[in-house]
Structure 1
Amino acid sequence: MKLATLPGAPDVGALSVVDEEAAAQAGADMLLGVTDGRLAMWRPDGHETPLCVDFDGGQLGYRLAADRVRHERLVRAVGKISDNGMLVDATAGLGRDAALLARAGWQVTMLERQPVLQALLADGLARSRELAGRMALVNKDSVAWLTEHPRVAEVVYLDPMFPERDKSAAIKKELLWLQWLCGSDSAASEALLLQAAMTAARRRVVVKRPLRAPPLAGHTPASSLTGKTVRFDIYPCHPAWQPRSSRGGNG
């Protein structure tokens, strides 16, 4: 994917152009710029709504309502807050799950190394009036950061990139754009991520998976909370329980 940036956009190592016409002439697939006061990404010749991060509403909308957020499966999967209430979202993406968890009362550290996503998240935090105080953004490789911070959080949350089979046009658009930016992780990378998450979490690791997808890195969770299209696999971090491979052997 070829990305271009408009004046006012942060430097993400992409081609700089003066306007959409110049982006199209340069053969750019996607454009990063400021529209309606928000940093966003869109196709130069497309009709889709630009993609941005909005922590105070936007597409999250009613899900952020205080009387609803506690019913979210993700919030139930991470469990009750104790100790310092710190949670690490090691695959932050567009930050929507992080916003739900912050609204539920967690202090959320978001890890995101992809430059465009990192810039969108930073812009969303800068504009947030409600949740910015409960969310922090770290621009670093997740495996490296988690490994360097053993037992730093009560919970580590993972939502690795996985091919989406939902037929919704909006979901397909967003997921396609994210896949263009991030690609998909290899099995070896997934195994390293889960291992690093288990190192950094004191209580549990929670992994979001499509409903019929295999468990992350082939390791069977202790339990799962299942919805209509996704499930949340739960891996306790106490010594009495260790993740086992669903592929056989010790791998």
Structure 2
Amino acid sequence: MSTVTTLLFDLDGTLLPMDNDTFTKGYFKKLIPHVAHLMAPEPFIAQLWRSTEAMVKNDDPSLTNEAVFKKHFLEAVNAREEDFFPLVEQFYAGEFGELSHLSEPTPLAREIVQAAVDKGYRVVLATNPLFPRPATEHRMRWAGVDGLPFELVTTYENSHFCKPNPNYYLEIVQKIGVTPESCLMIGNDAFEDLIAGKIGMETYWVTDCAIQEKAETSGKEQLPFDHQGTLQDLLRYIREELPALRS
């Protein structure tokens, strides 16, 4: 009998099918004009990547991802927060929301999460917290999972670690008061999502938009997983194989 009570769902490439490269290029193209008067496009994008990498590598539990990113970016470009970030935040709150065409939403996403909720499972949106809350809410809306009773949605404001740091998953279980062994992490990335298994979570590898490259280039073998399948398989698994926690 499964001891799982909580399902953690990745968003990009899992509940929201997409090609990461296509999406990233498209949204950078829209973001650049908002800051073009402050910084040329190429160095701006290069610094975005470097500051994102600093956020991913951070292991200081006293600093949110937002704090790490802003400090790294502003020191590198010798700028003030009030010059850059109101413009960036305005973009994420507004125009970013018009980029749904860079993803490939499926009605299966809402059916999957709703099926879990209907059977009594707690649900978490465990999306890599590289984005501010408004950008995450837009992507939830595109995926059709807005308004569902997620106990936690990880964003760069409320998280202190990123995938693939195991501390990202430990922070989630601490916040919602569960054990890793009672969680099933569901995601498409064979490294960033399946690494949840290292702290004792069950894992489900979603193969529709599977990402294996990082797993293969991390110097390690493919991380093990407990289940794998398409989104359609996942829906069937939740409906037919996971035991109901309430009738």
Q: Is TM > 0.5 for Structure 1 vs Structure 2?
A: no
Which gives a bigger RCO, structure 1 or 2 (Cα 8 Å, sep 6+)? 2
| Higher relative helix content | 2
